[in-house]
Amino acid sequence: MKSLLRKFIQGTCTPEETEQVVQFFQQSEDADVAFMPTEDEVLELLKTTHRIKEDSAKRIYRNITRIPARKGRRRSLFGRTGTRLAAAALFAGVISGSWFLGQRFQDSNLSAGPSEGFVTLISENGNQTLLTDSDSLQISDSKGAVVGYQKGSSIVYAPAKERASLQYNTITVPYGKRFELSLSDGTRVHLNAGTSIKFPVAFVNGKQREVFLKGEAFFEVARDEKHPFIVNTDDLDIKVLGTQFNVSAYGNSELEQVVLLEGSVKVKNEAQEVLILNPDQMASSNGKWLHKSSVTAADRISWKDGYLTLNKNTSTVEAIALLERYYHINIHSEGEQDPEKIVGSGKIFLSDKVENVITTLSLLTSNTYSFKYSQSPNKL
């Protein structure tokens, strides 16, 4: 356990190991001091740790500190009087690399690491639940009724019961992760890295089925001609009755794009321009104009199956943009780079470590690349 706590402080735990640490503080009544690294050891470990994003640290903190109060149970940790809750707060705090027992540390020498790999479920009342690949739990609405369940990297909402009003949940997926969501009408949504989707716990009879997206998602919409399905982004409204299509609408991108795999979709932008797409067509919008082009849809949506497709026309700049977005990194060319150079056909598997992906890119382009994790806020 002590070894696991050291990894936790250094930010090198896997999601499964992090869950073990969380459960240790939630369930153990005897948080033996012998398990705990000393203050000096923690300070030394912090010198080598990557700084975790503040919002991720707060989510872990909230998850750890969901410990029921136990009257009369008080413990002494590190020579100080406190409860297991204090110990939990300690370790939830130190992982952020910025504070320890309420005192701030200078961490300007710490390099920025990747955002924590926690998918987050946010209920309408603001409660947040961290979801890990090892989780299996029930999802409840604001009244405590079970509306669905999570198993691993997916959530399935139960078929809709009669409801008078809409209640929304939100799922956010960090960079470097993917997640799958099944809505109450049977629609399946594959969520790409760095994505947030707001959706009804259950759809209301007689009203359109609407969701709100930031990021990228592939939709397999259950057909219901009486209740059109609408995806809202910052610039686009995508309306369907039942079909399969991909939407890319990242806030830091100049373009929002819709790619149709099968069926038909109606796309409208803020300027009220409208396009009807057929399979293997893509609509692109920058907020001022809406343009239609032909594409190979299967290549554009391969990310949902765990890999990026590089076809014969993929340029170096396009490949780098895809990798930077998925892993939330900045890629730097160590040599002269031709941004229009074709990298060649192939697949980049998203389960690979980013170091291996950069090596593959270097081999494909006969160039050398390095990377750093993005310094920009990981806001969805």
Tens-of-pLDDT digits for all 380 residues of the chain? Answer: 777 776 776 666 776 777 777 777 666 554 454 556 655 565 555 554 444 555 555 555 555 555 444 433 333 333 333 434 444 444 544 444 333 322 222 332 223 333 456 899 998 888 888 887 777 888 888 777 888 999 889 999 998 766 778 899 999 999 888 999 999 999 999 999 999 999 999 998 888 999 999 999 999 999 999 999 999 999 999 999 889 999 999 988 889 999 999 999 999 999 899 999 999 999 999 988 999 999 999 999 999 999 888 877 788 888 888 899 888 899 998 877 666 666 767 788 887 788 888 888 888 777 889 999 876 444 44
Predicted pLDDT of residue 69? 40
Residue 72 belongs to what domain range? 2-104
Structurally, the chain folds into a number of domains equal to: 3
238 CA to centre of own chain: 22
Tell whether 295 and 367 lie within a shared domain: no
Tell whether 78 and 129 lie within a shared domain: no
β-bridge mates for residue 190, sequence order = 180, 218
Assess if residue 172 is contained within a domain. Answer: yes
Closest listed residue to residue 96, CA positions, set 57, 129, 126: 57
Helix (H, G, I), strand (E, B) or coil at 20: helix
Tell whether 275 and 210 lie within a shared domain: yes
Among 47, 71, 104, identify where a domain stops: 104
Closest listed residue to residue 56, CA positions, set 96, 24, 86, 91: 96
Among 265, 281, 300, identify where a domain stops: 300
Question: Can you read off the two tokens belonging to residue 149?
Answer: 């369940």
Give the chain's radius of gyration (CA, Å).
Answer: 23
Assess if residue 380 is contained within a domain. Answer: no
What is the DSSP pairing of strand 209-220 with strand 229-232? parallel
Predicted pLDDT of residue 351? 76
Predicted pLDDT of residue 26? 60
Predicted pLDDT of residue 133? 76
Predicted pLDDT of residue 313? 76
Assess if residue 379 is contained within a domain. Answer: no
Q: How long a stretch of residues is the chain?
A: 380
Tell whether 233 and 133 lie within a shared domain: yes
Tell whether 263 and 127 lie within a shared domain: yes
Predicted pLDDT of residue 303? 94
Predicted pLDDT of residue 349? 86
**Which stretches of 167-288 are assigned E, i.e. beta strand?**
168-173, 179-182, 188-191, 195-200, 209-220, 229-232, 236-240, 244-249, 256-262, 265-269, 274-277, 281-285
Tell whether 165 and 60 lie within a shared domain: no
What is the DSSP pairing of strand 369-373 with strand 329-333? antiparallel
Predicted pLDDT of residue 359? 87
Closest listed residue to residue 119, CA positions, set 191, 183, 54: 191
β-bridge mates for residue 238, sequence order = 231, 267
Rounded Cα distance, 365 and 70, in Å: 61
Predicted pLDDT of residue 89? 47
